[in-house]
């Protein structure tokens, strides 16, 4: 398939899923509201000591983003599976991995981007300095696509199973740990005034590896689930 054909296939699925997401805006708002509530509750429980809040802020924001992203994974393939659309997509001549990439990109745009945009405002609750807020945004911008790509594999493997949400958590949470460590670590390094370049290179490497490996793996998992 030519480069133009690849882009057209991904763009088709991306546009389709974005249009469907606009019609179900309540789902997007629920994910964002969950993120805001989780991040905002910790200062109430921990207290108002700013030194403590600054230390725990990176981990809290990243854990909340991870959980919010995982909250929306059940809808990634579930509705297409329920109405038979997924079977038709598998039968199309276009590579299923490219269709998966388009769906994951749409999932990230409607769930990950709102989290990235909201993060600086929530970071103010933890008295994060301006440069740390910028580092937080960049880390989420690089790391959240990896969460969506890895989560797609779990969503595909648990498709149509009872208690699929719990199974997704068990499957993907161990794989999320490195992203969580380096994502929170880069923000912590920024707060401490340390060099953050190495952390960003590692997050970028995770993103490249996920872009290459997860779409074919998700496509294979979808075929297994359909059969």
pLDDT per residue over 152-188, tens digit each?
A: 998 888 887 766 667 888 888 899 999 999 999 999 9
Tell me what pLDDT residue 2 has.
52
Report the predicted TM-score, pTM, of the whole model to 2 decimal places: 0.90
List pLDDT tens digits, range 199-226: 899 999 999 999 999 999 999 988 888 8
Tell me what pLDDT residue 50 has.
84
Sorted by where each begins, the domain ranges of the chain are 3-226
Given a cut of 70, whether residue 5 has pLDDT beyond it is: no
Instruction: Classify residue 182 by its DSSP letter.
Output: H
Tell me what pLDDT residue 212 has.
93
């Amino acid at each position: 398939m030519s480069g133009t054909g690849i882009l057209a296939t991904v763009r088709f699925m991306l546009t389709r899923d974005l249009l469907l997401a606009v019609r179900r805006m309540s789902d997007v708002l629920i994910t964002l509201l969950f993120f805001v509530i989780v991040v905002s509750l910790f200062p109430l429980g921990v207290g108002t000591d700013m030194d403590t809040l600054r230390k725990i802020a990176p981990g809290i924001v990243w854990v909340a983003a991870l959980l919010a992203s995982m909250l929306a994974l059940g809808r990634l393939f579930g509705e297409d599976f329920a109405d038979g659309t997924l079977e038709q997509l598998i039968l199309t001549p276009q590579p299923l991995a490219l269709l998966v990439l388009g769906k994951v990109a749409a999932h990230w745009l409607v769930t990950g981007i709102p989290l990235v945009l909201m993060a600086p405002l929530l970071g103010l609750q933890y008295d994060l300095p301006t440069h740390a807020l910028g580092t937080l945004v960049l880390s989420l911008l690089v790391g959240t696509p990896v969460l969506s790509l890895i989560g797609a594999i779990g969503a595909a493997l648990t498709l149509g199973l009872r208690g699929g949400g719990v199974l997704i958590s068990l499957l993907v949470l161990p794989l999320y740990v490195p992203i969580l460590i380096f994502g929170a670590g880069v923000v912590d390094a920024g707060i401490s005034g340390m060099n953050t370049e190495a952390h960003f290179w590692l997050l970028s490497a995770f993103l490249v590896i996920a872009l290459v490996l997860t779409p074919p793996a998700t496509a294979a998992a979808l075929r297994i689930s359909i059969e």
